[in-house]
Chains A and B, each alone.
Chain A
Amino acid sequence: MLMNLFKFKGGVKPPSNKLQSNHLPIAQAPMPSRLVVPLHQSIGGTPRPIVAAGDHVLKGQMIGEADGWISAAVHAPTSGTVVEVAMHVRPHPSGLDSLCVVIEPDGKDEWIARTPIDHKAAAPADVFHHLQQCGIVGLGGAGFPAHGKLTPSTGVPMDELIINGAECEPFITCDDLLMRERADEVVRGIAVFRDLLQPKKVLIGIEDNKPEAIAAMRAAVDAQKEPFSVVAVPTLYPAGGAKQLIRVLTGKEVPGSMRSTADMGVQVFNVGTAYSAWRAVAHGEPLISRILTITGNVHAPRNYEVLIGTPMDELLALAQPHPDTDGILMGGPMMGFLVPNPQVPVVKTTNCLIAHDDRLFPPKAPEMPCIRCGACARACPHELQPFEMYWFSRAKNFGKTQEYNIFDCIECGCCSYVCPSRIPLVQYFRFAKSEIWAREREKNASDQAKTRFEFKQYREEREKADKAEKLAKAAAAQAAKKAAEAAAAAAESGAAPAADTAASPAVTADAPAATVNPEKEAKRATIEAAMARAKAQREAVQPKNTENLSADQQKAAADIEARRIAAHLIEPEPATPASEKPE
């Protein structure tokens, strides 16, 4: 079918390096000695662990429960024993630890009972729940939970569902092989997405350097008589970026500020996501393995189906890395990163491991000053002015970087790739972005602190007023009692010493008969009325959060207060009402 394709500006053509790993079929990676499954593998809330050390788990058993709507469950990749639930380094450039479930396989690879779902008969909400429970997230790299993107945007008709098989990063061939070998199931998965989103068109974009994948996908689409278009898109990095692929296939430009492409009536899923969604729907299999490419400085580059949680060094050994390998790159060479140590596990978004050495990736030449040649601006697929953003990032003039739309930057690396001065531009932009976020957070924190302080002031004031009110009542009661006693004594003695009653401090309504000081009485009443008015006013303005507390909450509040006092964050409450009683 002929289709009018659009172009995006910029882009680069790095050497593709795909031929090394795309000629052998996908192999099954052997069972590793242990599996380290990080709980946080997708965008959104970190799943809560629901197993403990010593538990026996089955293959596919949920070990981490989705935390909130944007979150997806995590499962045991094989049967075995949970050794620990502890912090381990996860594959992230930060090198920070995160909570992982470590499983020692028992070698039986015993499945749990799998429950497929008939997505056509079931309510969409049930399908979303099923996908979330199966841990289906975007396998293209970002790892956005699939059910979140499948929920239609209200008010915007879905025009196009785009399936991303572009795979524009050099070296990576896992999507290529997936489409060649499992096109049938990929297309079935796409049909599930189509049924949920009801788009007007389904477009499958594949870079034209993958003719076999294009042929296989076309054959599968024809065999299933689906009205999907398999479109060969020109090979140009980053054609596989969601916004670039949308542009190429539909002509629509999704602005950087727009969080969801669904707001423009278009949604994009990776081919791998479609495949795993189909396995989840038709076979009840949660996402416990994925296909990834092992390539780079290795003797035998190839694609493997790998269990999530497999340590990377064990995998790399399969491809026989050359002895001068000095690191493992996760992802492609344009946007990937060197993992903090070789033992980090494979996660759902690990699409490629590249053995790093100086021959394939020569150390960078020293950074030279920017000569404003504009090569970066010509290469930028988002039509930014990277050299201006660089200048202002360097000068820490972050406001200016935002004026130059730094948040539209997708960090694809095209600018750094073409820079003759070897300036690591993307790094400068990440720095600027993180600084801006940090400042935003600081500002929010100080805003919150201000609110807290104001509330504390208000609370202290209110407590003082409450105290005064109580005191007044108590004093009045006391006075009434005294007056009554005095009256009784006077009655007993037969005398009524006026001086005594006149000296009594105050009287209350309980004993109006004994009142002998109208002046003081009037004053007290006025004060009480004023306090009542003030109280009512405050209550009208601000609801009290210290009222109607449960016992637990009160205890928690008291604990917090105690800790604060212990930490000398605040002065202890000046005094308790009892000790303050003036009498």
Chain B
Amino acid sequence: MFAPAPFLLKDVSVSQVMIQVCVALIPGIAAYASLVGPAILVQLVIATLAALLAEAIMLKLRGKPLALFLTDGSAIVTAWLIALTFPPLAPWWLVVTGTVFAVVVAKHLYGGLGQNPFNPAMVAFAVCIVAFPALMSQWPSVGLQLGLIDQMNIILGWAPRVDTLTGATPLDAMKTALKLGEGSFDVSTLLANQDIYGNFAGRGWEWVAAGYLLGGLWLWHRKLITWHVPLAFVASLSLISGALWLYNPSQFASPLFHLLSGGAMLGAFFIATDPVSGCTTPRGKLIFGAGCGLLAYIIRVFGGYPDGVAFAVLLMNLSAPVIDLLTQPPVFGMKDKA
């Protein structure tokens, strides 16, 4: 007749958690939209629709209650993270492919909500950057001021994709210049002479990163995430980049550059903090976050991809179960024995 104790429950649900994550993304999205134009909003809509449709089909196939799981908000969070990590002018089918892969393979084939060993959005990113490397590295050229209609035409494939419209991300440009230049460029001249860069990172990207930071701090304030993962992520990325920057400032960019370019802030506060695929013990979270920051830097600077956050998170997802197992906190009254 009745469920057992406790009879009082806190007013909180999975969908509320997910909605708050989406709300926390809004400052970053606003800064992003002001930087690259309204295209990103279109991508958010495309990704959301694709995710909900894929989710609905999978739920139907698996015989799960549609209304309950469609409204849990988890598919929307995945969709938004995909839209925010993919190039804003990417063709619609690329975003849809990534989203469908994330929802169908990375999420539902592993058992659905709560069962995915990998962050679905990062799986989508990894799959697409491996399968469509060119499309995945075309970012709008700085100073490109296209209206909503023009941007939509590009996304929907009604207008030709012109090379002059797109360029590299600050991280990519820096890496390419430093590698190809073979010592003839140094970081400070690059930063000073190209309009892709702002004061200490990509131009305008600082504001996007600041937006994510703001949203992330709000999530922490709401106790939806703990400080462990973001702090460890930021600290390890700052430490390694700081050490190499001090060693050779002409060849290695400053910690601020690394923190405020690319996906570092989004990764630290919104991606690495995913509880399902991440670590859950306090010490585990510290290791997880630190690992993400370290791997992201190594891949960015020494690896073959422009940004390393996605691969770093996926690699740490792989290690999360064993980290959790080895970092069990001692229980009440057992601290001396442990």
A170–B74 Cα distance when bound, in Å, is 33
A405 contacts partner chain B, Cβ-Cβ < 8 Å: yes
With A254-B333, A372-B114, A422-B9 already in contact, 11 other A-B pairs whose C-beta atoms are closer than 8 Å: A356-B7, A368-B72, A369-B112, A371-B114, A371-B276, A382-B333, A383-B329, A384-B331, A419-B9, A420-B13, A427-B4
Contact (A12, B72) CB under 8 Å given A253-B333, A254-B333, A372-B280 = no
Please tell me if the beta carbons of A14 and B10 are within 8 angstroms of each other in the complex.
yes
Please tell me if the beta carbons of B6 and A369 are within 8 angstroms of each other in the complex.
no
A370 contacts partner chain B, Cβ-Cβ < 8 Å: yes
Closest to A244 in B: B332
Q: Which residues of chain A in 322-378 are interfacial with respect to chain B, using CB atoms and an 8 Å cutoff? A: 327, 329, 331, 333-338, 356, 361, 363-366, 368-375, 377-378
Chain B residues within 8 Å of A385, by CB: 280-281, 328-329
Please tell me if the beta carbons of A258 and B333 are within 8 angstroms of each other in the complex.
yes
Among A338, A363, A366, A420, the most chain B Cβ lie within 10 Å of the Cβ of A420
Q: Indicate with 1 or 0, residue by residue over B265-277, a CB within 8 angstroms of chain A CB atoms.
A: 0000000000110
Chain B residues within 8 Å of A418, by CB: 10, 12
Chain A residues within 8 Å of B329, by CB: 383, 385
Number of A-B contacts (CB under 8 A): 140
Q: Which residues of chain A in 369-427 are interfacial with respect to chain B, using CB atoms and an 8 Å cutoff? A: 369-375, 377-378, 381-385, 387, 404-405, 408, 413, 416-422, 424, 426-427
Please tell me if the beta carbons of A405 and B331 are within 8 angstroms of each other in the complex.
yes
Q: Top 8 closest A-B pairs, CB basis?
A: A255-B333, A413-B6, A369-B114, A253-B333, A382-B332, A333-B7, A361-B7, A334-B6
B330 contacts partner chain A, Cβ-Cβ < 8 Å: yes
Contact (A377, B7) CB under 8 Å given A327-B2, A366-B68, A369-B112 = no
Please tell me if the beta carbons of B5 and A334 are within 8 angstroms of each other in the complex.
yes
Please tell me if the beta carbons of B2 and A338 are within 8 angstroms of each other in the complex.
yes
Q: Indicate with 1 or 0, residue by residue over B317-337, a CB within 8 angstroms of chain A CB atoms.
A: 000000000001111111101
B3 contacts partner chain A, Cβ-Cβ < 8 Å: yes
A377–B282 Cα distance when bound, in Å, is 10
16 contacts between A and B (CB under 8 A): A9-B332, A247-B332, A253-B333, A256-B331, A368-B68, A371-B276, A372-B280, A374-B226, A377-B280, A378-B223, A384-B331, A408-B332, A413-B5, A420-B12, A421-B13, A426-B5
A329–B4 Cα distance when bound, in Å, is 10
A243 contacts partner chain B, Cβ-Cβ < 8 Å: yes
A381–B337 Cα distance when bound, in Å, is 18
Please tell me if the beta carbons of B333 and A373 are within 8 angstroms of each other in the complex.
no
A583 to chain B, nearest CB (A): 72
Please tell me if the beta carbons of A383 and B6 are within 8 angstroms of each other in the complex.
no
A494 contacts partner chain B, Cβ-Cβ < 8 Å: no
Please tell me if the beta carbons of B3 and A373 are within 8 angstroms of each other in the complex.
no
Q: Which residues of chain B in 25-73 are interfacial with respect to chain A, using CB atoms and an 8 Å cutoff? A: 65, 68-69, 72
Tell me whether chain B's interface is mostly helix, strand or loop, or mixed. loop
Chain B residues within 8 Å of A574, by CB: none
Contact (A369, B113) CB under 8 Å given A374-B275, A420-B14 = yes
Chain A residues within 8 Å of B276, by CB: 371-372
A421 to chain B, nearest CB (A): 6
A382–B16 Cα distance when bound, in Å, is 27
Contact (A329, B7) CB under 8 Å given A255-B333, A255-B334, A368-B68 = yes
A402–B337 Cα distance when bound, in Å, is 17
Please tell me if the beta carbons of A371 and B14 are within 8 angstroms of each other in the complex.
yes
Picked from B10, B14, B113, the residue with its CB within 8 Å of the CB of A12 is B10
Closest to A254 in B: B333
Q: Which residues of chain A in 24-80 are interfacial with respect to chain B, using CB atoms and an 8 Å cutoff? A: none
Please tell me if the beta carbons of B333 and A416 are within 8 angstroms of each other in the complex.
no
B199 to chain A, nearest CB (A): 38
Q: Which residues of A contact B (CB under 8 A)?
A: 8-9, 12, 14-15, 93, 170, 243, 247, 253-256, 258, 327, 329, 331, 333-338, 356, 361, 363-366, 368-375, 377-378, 381-385, 387, 404-405, 408, 413, 416-422, 424, 426-427
A290–B223 Cα distance when bound, in Å, is 42
Contact (A387, B280) CB under 8 Å given A369-B115, A372-B275, A413-B5 = yes
Please tell me if the beta carbons of A426 and B6 are within 8 angstroms of each other in the complex.
yes
A199–B332 Cα distance when bound, in Å, is 24
Please tell me if the beta carbons of A170 and B5 are within 8 angstroms of each other in the complex.
no
Chain A residues within 8 Å of B224, by CB: 373
A402 to chain B, nearest CB (A): 12
A422 to chain B, nearest CB (A): 7
Contact (A333, B6) CB under 8 Å given A366-B68, A371-B113, A387-B280 = yes
A329–B275 Cα distance when bound, in Å, is 35
Chain B residues within 8 Å of A327, by CB: 1-2
Contact (A416, B9) CB under 8 Å given A255-B333, A385-B280 = yes
B17 contacts partner chain A, Cβ-Cβ < 8 Å: yes
B8 contacts partner chain A, Cβ-Cβ < 8 Å: yes
A385–B275 Cα distance when bound, in Å, is 14
Please tell me if the beta carbons of A256 and B333 are within 8 angstroms of each other in the complex.
yes
Closest to B13 in A: A420
A356–B331 Cα distance when bound, in Å, is 35
Chain B residues within 8 Å of A366, by CB: 65, 68
Contact (A337, B4) CB under 8 Å given A371-B14, A420-B12 = yes
Please tell me if the beta carbons of B280 and A253 are within 8 angstroms of each other in the complex.
no
Picked from B4, B8, B330, the residue with its CB within 8 Å of the CB of A15 is B8
Please tell me if the beta carbons of B8 and A361 are within 8 angstroms of each other in the complex.
yes
Please tell me if the beta carbons of A408 and B6 are within 8 angstroms of each other in the complex.
no
Picked from B4, B72, B328, the residue with its CB within 8 Å of the CB of A424 is B4
B272 to chain A, nearest CB (A): 14
